[in-house]
Amino acid sequence: MDARLLDILIQSFPKILLPGIMVTIPLTVLAFAIGLVIAVVTALICFAEVPILKWIARFYIWVIRGTPLLVQLFVVFYGLPSVGILIEPFPCAVMVFAINEGAYAAETLRGTLEAVPHGQLEAGLCVGMSWWQIMRRIVLPQAFRTAFPALGNELISMVKDTSLAANITVTEMFMKTQRIVAVYYEPLALYIEVGIVYLLFSTVLSYFERYGEKRLATYGKR
């Protein structure tokens, strides 16, 4: 590594990190939070086998999990304007990532909901609790505790998937890196550098995931 390349990497690091903090992380947090709400509603519909709504939920999961995320981004951002629906890049990315995450997380939650012993539902009904009270106080807390590692893994995957938002002109850190590469013509070093930043973000999230697992395990023993 010569002095010129080292200087480029030093100068580009804050330029890459700032969009990561200002765009990539907010995009991930917003999309994951909204996606989690969608997932809970969808999983509960499937778990309760609500007529009609169950088939709508299954169709939604089937379509979203069966099509690439990049295609979904293109359909919404580049396709919808042809029918008069215009969405700004960042809200579009949040919406598409949330819908995509909702489908995957819904299946995770549905599996953990079905893993809760059925006798606990019957016990809740016996003491006069409503179905929603049983879900909120008994079933969902256990399901989330079981699903926490898988959901944490999906959150980490979403951080990396946000690089796809560059394809719809969201100026996150991967797009910023592409612009820097176009100026200095050092693709290998600069793309490795942005990869290290993604690795840094993922490592921090992994730490919080492990911390959360320990806290939940401690809470479950009380």
CA distance 190 to 204: 21
The arithmetic mean of pLDDT across residues 149-173, rounded, is 93
pLDDT tens digits for range 94-128: 999 999 999 999 999 998 988 888 787 778 878 88
Residue 159 CB-density burial (10 A; 0-12 exposed, 13-18 middle, 19+ buried): buried
Which band of pLDDT confidence, cut at 50, 70 and 90, is reported for residue 221?
A: low
Give every CB contact of residue 55 below 8 A, 6+ residues apart in sequence: none
pLDDT tens digits for range 16-25: 999 999 999 9
Which band of pLDDT confidence, cut at 50, 70 and 90, is reported for residue 130?
A: confident
Count of Cβ atoms closer than 10 Å to residue 86 Cβ: 8
CA distance 132 to 128: 12
- Contact between 139 and 121 under an 8 Å Cβ cutoff? The reply is yes
| Predicted TM-score (pTM) above 0.85 | yes
> For residue 68, which phi and psi values (nearest 5 degrees)?
-65, 145
CA distance 84 to 74: 15
**pLDDT(158) > 90:** yes
Tell which wins on pLDDT, 72 or 208. 72
Can you read off the two tokens belonging to residue 111? 């599996």
| Radius of gyration for the chain, computed over Cα atoms and rounded to the nearest angstrom | 21
Predicted local confidence at residue 219, as pLDDT: 61
pLDDT tens digits for range 15-70: 999 999 999 999 999 999 999 999 999 999 998 888 899 999 999 999 999 999 99
Third-level CATH fold of 3-221:
MetI-like fold (1.10.3720)
